[in-house]
Amino acid sequence: ALNEDFKGAVNFLHTGERFLVVSHVNPDGDAIGSTCAVGRILEKLGKAFVLVNASKVPEKFKFLPGAQQIRSLEEAGDMEPFSRVVAVDVADAARMGEISPMLTGDAEVLNIDHHVTNDRFGAVNLVIDDAAATAEVLCHLADALGVEWDQPLAECLYTGLLTDTGGFRYSNTTHNVMELAARLLGQGVDAAEIADRAIETISRSQLALLRRALDTLAFSESGQVAWMWLTRQDFTEAEAAEDEMEGIVNYARNVAGVDVGILFRETPEGEVKVSLRSREVVDVGELAQSFGGGGHARAAGCTLTGTRKQVEEEILVRVTQRLQRGDG
């Protein structure tokens, strides 16, 4: 069945001539790395393509080959509509943002992803939920297409693997991942430089935001749940961009004895974005999905409406229930 999925994707790419490549809003390293990687693959296949994202490319991923080519939805809206879309690292169609004005009425989507919660929204779906990153799926797709992993492509794919495994530390860091990473390094990828740019380097505003979040850190009575808040005021006073909250939730999860770490963030739209991370007990992907979001067992997110108190209580009650059940 897996081979059939690769054949479907290969056929989709071979039979089209012009593609829109898109990933999810608030893109991470896998989203940007995979978008650029698909661009590179299409270039090598001699196809026309446009890369877009509903959000701005985070500063720290602008170094990736192709990242400067990623356009906003507004910019792409003025182009001739697309009949073929490649969605990467997208669990459900809504995560791409409002791309429909860019598409023809009969547009078809190739959905390449690794989220367990992926709802198979594509006309063609290449979803491998035990892959560590969409970049891992793309390594195999490049092989299936006979596309050589040159250095720019390898840098994009390596960044996706690196960031989605938390720097090769999370439970998705498998034998396969390390073999692929080794092969990518063999193409001339500079591991230390990419790790420094994509993981280690933080901006002053990011640090200011972290400081504010840490000031709100609270624990459940059991010590198994830790959570933090970021309000609009925090973003304003830290002079931070929306994407600069990335990674902050890990400080809650990383505290000894904690299973579930949570970051509640007020969005510019007045909703509350909830980021969830867990060590081993609670399946936060399922939990987030029950609130209309999604993700993976160890990292997931959802968006709620209500007062701070309501949202906090709603989430904490459900997390506590799952912890007491002990089965995730």
Rounded Cα–Cα distance for residues 74 and 62 (Å): 19
Select from 51, 272, 299, 319 the one that contacts ligand 5GP (CB under 6 A).
299
Ramachandran area for residue 178 (φ above 0: left; ψ -120 to 50: alpha; else beta): alpha
Q: Is the dihedral of CA 148, 150, 152, 155 positive or negative?
A: positive
Select from 35, 55, 111, 117 the one that contacts ligand 5GP (CB under 6 A).
117
Closer to Mn ion by CB, 31 or 157: give it: 31
Judged by CB under 6 A, the chain residues 248 through 277 that form the site for ligand 5GP are: 275
Rounded Cα–Cα distance for residues 232 and 50 (Å): 33
Interacting partner of 22 out of ligand 5GP, Mn ion, none (Cβ under 5 to 8 A depending on kind): none
Rounded Cα–Cα distance for residues 97 and 157 (Å): 24
- Sole residue written with tokens 């593609």: 19
Q: Which stretch binds ligand 5GP (CB under 6 A): 14-22, 58-66, 142-150, 287-295?
A: 287-295
Closer to ligand 5GP by CB, 5 or 164: give it: 164
CA nearest neighbour of 22 among 97, 134, 75: 97
Please state the closest distance from residue 63 (CB atom) to ligand 5GP, in A: 21
> In this structure, are residues 235 and 242 in contact, taking their beta carbons and an 8 Å threshold?
yes
Interacting partner of 30 out of ligand 5GP, Mn ion, none (Cβ under 5 to 8 A depending on kind): Mn ion
Site residues, Mn ion (CB under 5 A) = 28, 30-31, 89, 133-134, 164
Site residues, ligand 5GP (CB under 6 A) = 24, 91-92, 95, 117, 275, 293-296, 299-303
